[in-house]
Each structure stands twice: as structure tokens, then as C-alpha cells.
Amino acid sequence: MKTESSTFLQKLALVFLIILGLYLAKDFLIPLCIGGILATLFLPFCNWMQSKRIPKGLAVFICFFSILLIIATLISLLGWKISELFEDFNLIKQKSIEMGSQIQKYIFNHLNISIEEQLNILKKEQPSYADIFQMIFGSIASIFASLILVLVYFVFLLYYRGHIKNFLLKTVKPSKCEEMEQVIYNATKVSQQYLLGISKMIVLLWIMYAAGFSILGVENAIFFAILCGLLEIVPYVGNITGTILTVLITAIHGASLTLLGGIILVYVVVQFIQGWLLEPLILGPQVKINPLFTIIVLVLGQLLWGIPGIILAIPLTAIFKIICDHIEPLKPYGFLIGEITLPKKREEILQNLKSYLKQ
């Protein structure tokens, strides 16, 4: 009995040390993980170029140029739409002031706090312009430095992938090399499948949201469609956040209750199509994490690594799940994290639809 309890305490202490290490080493691990996941996404493209006798260095450089082009395109697209949104800045400012004055009156009528006292409280709580500028400058500098690190890791992980694989094979016994190679292959494949699947999902969400918002007559419909689609990186929370922002900004522009209800209806319809059709078809069960552990890893990711932790939580958990599925002592944990098997009828419908789409 003592042996079992001591073993349990040792495992608990090990988990605690791992979590503590993840938190303390976040500045090092976050760029490395992002760079590694992006490298797995470009791995098939890089291997294909090398199979066409393109030198390894040139193939890696083409992948590097491709990812720069993708980042630049996304930034340009969002910047263009945000600049259009800020053309209505005066209207948004006026509506915000009106809403603020209504809140002040409500506080005065119900809490008996005068407007002057409210302003004094806000002045005490508000940081100075110098602090705000310093915070913004520090955030931009940190993001820029992290982006450079991500790109550096991306290039070198792609270039030295064979060397890293051989190192991992040397860490196990010769009899276990085949099993280790299978784990490496599946972990890399599941990362690619998740990233490609989520990219396809985002594009389809852009189309559905853009169509829905445009039919309703929402101002800046394309911008809000792009926003809601990109926030799909964060499951459950992302789409809700994008829809709430769409409703709030549309309401500030003086939209009717019918239009606001239409936006919520579009969100419900898109979520239904996504959850019942797109996710099983595109992502598949091998990279699907059940909703309970999805929320758990998102919360843990935010607590440990902040916003990057939220973005990285799902792909890292999917990789961890596939590793658990191929190591005998860890298989129960992979089963616990994974999605429950679909009902037979629904699975048959999805399989028939997959076959039809392939044809």
C-alpha cells in the first residue's frame, strides 16, 4: 500500500515539475513550438522539392520565402480591412461616448455616485500616456523578436530534421527503433493533418460567414468573416468572441434587432455545419480531442503561456495524444483525451460523403 501511494506521489510530483518547467521556460519554448509546428506543415513540400533533385538548402529557402509570403498576405489583408473599419472611427467614438454617458447616469441613479466622483476614480485607475506608450512599444518589440525566433527555428528545424530524427532513434534500444520511427512519423503526420485541416476549416468559415453577413447587409462583412474564421484557431471560444465583436460593432453602427438576431442565427447555422459535417470530414477522429479536454488544455495553455498557449494548446495536445496511442503504458491517456466514437449511422453517412467527394 505504501509503495502504491509513494508511486502516486512521485507521479504527481513529476507532473508538477513538468508544469513548472513549462511555465518557467515559456520564453524559450513558445517560439520553438510554433517554429516546429510550422516546420511540420511545410515538411511534405520540402521533401517533394528534394525528391525533384532541388538542393536541400534551396528547398528550405523556398519554404521560408513561402511562409513569409503567407504572413505578409494575411497582415496586408487584415490591415486593409481594419483601415476600412477605422474610416467609421468618428461614428464609433460618438456612439461609445453616448453609451458611456448612459452608463454614468445609470451608476448615478442606482449607486448614488456622482459623475465627478466616477471621473476621479477613472483618472486614478487609468495609466499615464507614457506608461501606455511604453507598454505598446514593449509589446511590439516582443512580438517582433518572437517572430524572428520563430522563423529562425522554422528554417533550422527543417534543415536539420534528419539529424534530429537520428538523434531520437539513438535514444532508444535498437529493438525499439522501428517503434520510435513510427511514433515520429505519426506525430509529424498528425501535426500536418491538424494544421492543414484547420487551414481548410478557416477558408470554409470565411466563405460561410462572408455569405451570411453579406446577405444580411452587415457593414464590413468581409472583415468580420475573416475575423471569425481566424479565431477558429481557438476552438469554441474563438467563434463566440468573433460573433460578439460583430454584434457589438454592428450595434454601435445603429443596427436593428432583426439584423443582430440574423448575425446570431448565422453563427448558429455555421457552428452546426462545422461541428456535424466539416470537423469529422476535414480533421478526422485521430486529431480530435473531446470537448472536456479541449477546454482543459485551453485553460492550462492560457495560464502557462498566455495567448500563444491558447493557440498552441490543441496541436500540442493532438501530438501528445498520438504519442500516447503508440506507447503501451500511455494508451489509456490517449483514450481519455480522444473523442468518443461516432454513432454508426452518422459514421456511415460521413464515410459515404467522403467517398462521394473523392469521386
pLDDT tens track for 151-183:
899 999 989 988 888 888 888 888 878 878 877
- Sign of the C-alpha dihedral computed for residues 220, 226, 230 and 235 taken in this order: positive
Instruction: Give Rg (Cα) of the chain.
Output: 25
Does residue 131 register a pLDDT over 60? no
Instruction: State the pLDDT at residue 61.
Output: 92
pTM for this predicted structure = 0.69
Instruction: State the pLDDT at residue 118.
Output: 57
Q: Could you give the CA distance from residue 245 to residue 261 in angstroms, rounded to a whole number?
A: 14
Residues in the chain: 359
Instruction: State the pLDDT at residue 213.
Output: 86
Does residue 56 register a pLDDT over 70? yes
Strand partners, 338: 289
Output the CA–CA distances (angstroms, integers) from residue 216 to 189, 221, 263, 266, in the order listed.
40, 9, 8, 9
Instruction: State the pLDDT at residue 276.
Output: 74
Instruction: State the pLDDT at residue 18.
Output: 84
% of the chain residues with pLDDT over 70? 71
Residues 6+ apart with CB under 8 A from 245: 224, 227
For 194, counting Cβ atoms within 10 Å of its Cβ (0-12 exposed, 13-18 middle, 19+ buried), the class is: buried
For the chain, which residues make up each domain, given as ranges?
A: 21-159, 178-359
- 95, containing H or E segment: helix 89-111
Does residue 12 register a pLDDT over 60? yes
Q: Could you give the CA distance from residue 9 to residue 2 in angstroms, rounded to a whole number?
A: 10
Question: Taking all residues of the chain, what is their mean pLDDT, rounded to a whole number?
Answer: 76
Torsion of CA 120, 125, 128, 129, to 10 degrees: -100
Give yes or no for a contact between 192 and 41, defined as CB atoms under 8 angstroms apart.
Answer: yes
142 vs 312 pLDDT, higher one: 312
User: What is the average per-residue pLDDT within 259-281?
Assistant: 81
Give the type of residue at 357. L
Which of 6-20, 109-123, 175-189, 259-273 is the least confident region? 109-123
Instruction: State the pLDDT at residue 64.
Output: 92
Give yes or no for a contact between 34 and 308, defined as CB atoms under 8 angstroms apart.
Answer: yes
Which of 38-47, 177-186, 300-309 is the least confident region? 177-186
User: What is the average per-residue pLDDT within 117-141?
Assistant: 58
Query: Which cell goes with 199?
Result: 487551414
User: What is the average per-residue pLDDT within 38-51?
Assistant: 87
**Where does the pLDDT of residue 106 fall: very low under 50, low under 70, confident under 90, or very high at 90 and above?**
low
